[in-house]
Structure 1
Amino acid sequence: MAPIITLTAATLLARLAGLLGADALDDWQTSLRIGLAAMFTLTGAVHFAPRFRDDMIRMIPERLPAPAALVALTGVLELAGAAGLLIPATATAAALCLAALLVAMFPANYSAARRGITLAGKPPTPLGIRTAEQALFIALCLLAAP
C-alpha cells in the first residue's frame, strides 16, 4: 500500500506544483515520472532496510541463486531507475528499464504470494492484488516514457 500512496501523492503534488506555475512540471507525464521516482526510491531503499531485508530475501524463489545478492541488486537498480526518471536525457530509458525490471521481479512476488511470505509482519498480499499492482506499475512506467 505504501508504494501506491507514495506514487499517487508525489504525482499529484508535482502536478499541483505545475498548475501553480512550476514550468518544469507543466504536464502529467513529468509529474508521473516524479511520482514513480518517489515510489522506486521508497521500494529500492526497503531492499536495504533491516526491518524488511530478511523478508525480501525469503521472497526470492528457491531455485534462484544468491537471494541476498539479488535483493541488493534489484534495490540498486530501483534506486538508479528512480534517479534516471528525473533526468530528461535518461527518463525514457529509465522508465523502460524499470518496466522490464518489474517484469523480471514478478516471480519473486508470485513466490511470496504462493508461500504466504509476510513483509515486516504485515499479512501477505494475495496473488491477485500483487499481479494487479505489478501490471499497474508496469503500465505507468510505459506511460512515463516520453
Structure 2
Amino acid sequence: MAPLIALISSFLLFRIIGLLGLSYFDNWHTALQGAVAIMFLLTASAHWGKRRVDLIRMVPPAFPKKEWIVTVTGCLEIAGAIAICLPPFSLAAAIGLTLMLVAMFPANIYAAHEKLTIGGRPVPNLPFRALLQLIFIAAILLTSPLFGQ
C-alpha cells in the first residue's frame, strides 16, 4: 500500500508545485514521471532494508539464488526510476519497468497464497495485488513518450 500512497501523493505534490510555476513538473506527464520514480525508489529501498528478508521469502521456491534476485530487482528499480525521468531513456525504462513488474508477479501470487507478511503486515490478497499491479503498470506506461510531451 505504501507504494500506491507514494505514487499518488508525490504526483499531487509535483502537480501543485508545477502549477505554482516552481519546478519543471509543469504538466501531468512530468509529474507522473517524478511520481513513478519516487515510488520505485521507495520500493527499491526495501531490497536492502529491514524488509529484505520478507522480499527474499516472497521469491517462489522454484527460483534459485533468491538473495541475488532481490538485489538485482532493487538495482533495476533504481535504474528505472532514474531513466524514467530522462527523455532519451524514458520509453526503454517504461518498457523495462513494466516487464519487471510482470516478471515479479509470481512472487506476489506466491506471497498471497502462502499468506506471507512484509514488514509484519500481511501481503495484500491476490485480487487487490493484481489491481495494484495494473495501476502501477498504467502509471509507468503513461510516463512513456507515447502519452506525453
Same fold (TM over 0.5): yes
Segments of 4+ moved more than 2 angstroms: none
Segments of structure 2 that go 5 or more residues without pairing to the other structure are none
Cα distance per residue 1:67-104 (max 9 Å; x no partner): 11000010000011001112222122112211111001
Amino-acid identity (%): 44
Shift of residue 17, structure 1, vs aligned partner = 1.3
Q: 1:29 corresponds to which residue? A: 29
- Normalized per residue, the structure richer in helix is 1
1:63-74 superposed matches below 5 A: 63-74=62-73
RMSD: 1.1
Shift of residue 57, structure 1, vs aligned partner = 0.5
Q: 1:12 corresponds to which residue? A: 12
Q: 2:112 corresponds to which residue? A: 113
Q: How many residues align?
A: 145
State the alpha-carbon separation in 2 of the partners of residues 140 and 104 from structure 1. 17
Q: Give the direction of change, closer, same or farther, for the CA distance of 1:116–1:139 in structure 2 (3 Å limit).
A: same
State the alpha-carbon separation in 2 of the partners of residues 23 and 73 from structure 1. 32
Q: 2:127 corresponds to which residue? A: 128
Q: TM-score under structure 1 normalisation?
A: 0.95
Shift of residue 22, structure 1, vs aligned partner = 3.6
Give the residue type in structure 2 aligned to 1:124.
Answer: V
Segments of structure 1 that go 5 or more residues without pairing to the other structure are none
Q: 2:99 corresponds to which residue? A: 100
